[in-house]
Amino acid sequence: MEIRPIIWRDDAVVLIDQNALPLQERELLCREYGEVVAAIKDLTVRGAPAIGIAAAFGIALGARRLDHLPAGRIRAGFFKICDDFARSRPTARNLFWAIERMGRRFDAAAAEGTAGVGDALLAEARAILEEDVAANRRMGRFGSPFLRDGDAVLTHCNAGALATGGYGTALGVIRAAHEEGKRISVFVDETRPVLQGARLTAWELRKEGIPFTLIADNMAGTLMKQGRIQLVIVGADRIAANGDTANKIGTYPLAVLARAHGIPFYVAAPLSTIDLSLGSGDEIPIEERNPEEILSLRGVRIAEEGIDVYNPAFDVTPASLVTAIITEVGVANPPSDSALRELCSRGLSR
């Protein structure tokens, strides 16, 4: 069964509850847009493309409740909904990309009269979802040649079906190579503090029958030194114009380790993750999350209360450490301002 973390069913946004995985496979049904905002904040739905898609459906959900209001109030209500989503998490470019796209669809639909705005927005959210899945499959085809038969690949966090509309970005490339019959094995970083690797990537790979080994985050260097990892592939939350890449905290040290061991380091991400308005990664807003994520492990307190905690959710890997960025329209190899701009213009002309 294909993993689809966000669907529209019976006038509601239905999410796979990623906080419950892997121990429980259950859904969260959102009938109000505020429930989708809350689900993004508390990581029920997470991963940059999935956050954007959930917001698109959430905006459609909220806007459909406004349909009976006079035109001026529908517009004000729509912008309030968008604003609530924009404040949910700051780093993933895909969130803001999706909100902007929903805004353009709102303007186009409202210009024809406000009666059909809710339906138009729902159609746009559905299009964003299906385009994301198709983009991931194309990304898989562009990325799989980098994986050779017998390779062991290291990945961090979860950049799989759960983090997208379906299929995944970094995990999509691994899936594609596996589907082509290559014998690929995966080392999965557990990904402290909230363990997206141990809980989510391991769950997906197991379902798919792709061989993998779970490791703690501090073990990658030893495995590289032992020659047991041939390449690293990760996803991205935001990529600046020069190729600097924000991804889950712990990605940057992996890139440093990969360079020290002469191992290629790939980023797989859709064009909706690229932010050409930012010259470098220094400008990417990095989310800081609740200290409780560090003080506790899955609800069990492991450190004393009242101590200082620093909990950035993402780090930035400089483009100089990235071998190539794999997108749905081609590969920036190596990443550069001109290569990324060229890919983005190719995307626009599709």
Which residues are the active-site residues? Answer: 237
Q: Are 311 and 289 in contact (CB under 8 A)?
A: yes
Nearest-approach distance from CB 233 to ligand MRU, in angstroms: 10
Residue number of the CB closest to ligand MRU reads 235
Query: H or E stretch including 268?
Result: strand 265-268
Nearest-approach distance from CB 247 to ligand MRU, in angstroms: 5
Q: How far apart are CA 333 and CA 145, in angstroms?
A: 13
Q: Are 56 and 48 in contact (CB under 8 A)?
A: no
Nearest-approach distance from CB 303 to ligand MRU, in angstroms: 21
Q: What's the Cα-to-Cα distance from 42 to each of 19, 51, 161, 180, 288, rounded to whole Å?
A: 8, 11, 19, 36, 13
Q: Of 120 and 322, which has the nearer Cβ to ligand MRU? A: 322
Q: How far apart are CA 158 and CA 119, in angstroms?
A: 32
Q: Are 169 and 269 in contact (CB under 8 A)?
A: yes
Q: Of 169 and 185, which has the nearer Cβ to ligand MRU? A: 169
Q: Of 114 and 247, which has the nearer Cβ to ligand MRU? A: 247
Q: Of 122 and 269, which has the nearer Cβ to ligand MRU? A: 269
236 forms beta bridges with none
Nearest-approach distance from CB 54 to ligand MRU, in angstroms: 11
Using CA of residue 52, residue 41, residue 206, residue 294, what is the dihedral sign? Answer: positive
Interacting residues with ligand MRU (CB under 6 A): 46-49, 157, 159, 163-164, 169, 196, 235-237, 247-248, 313
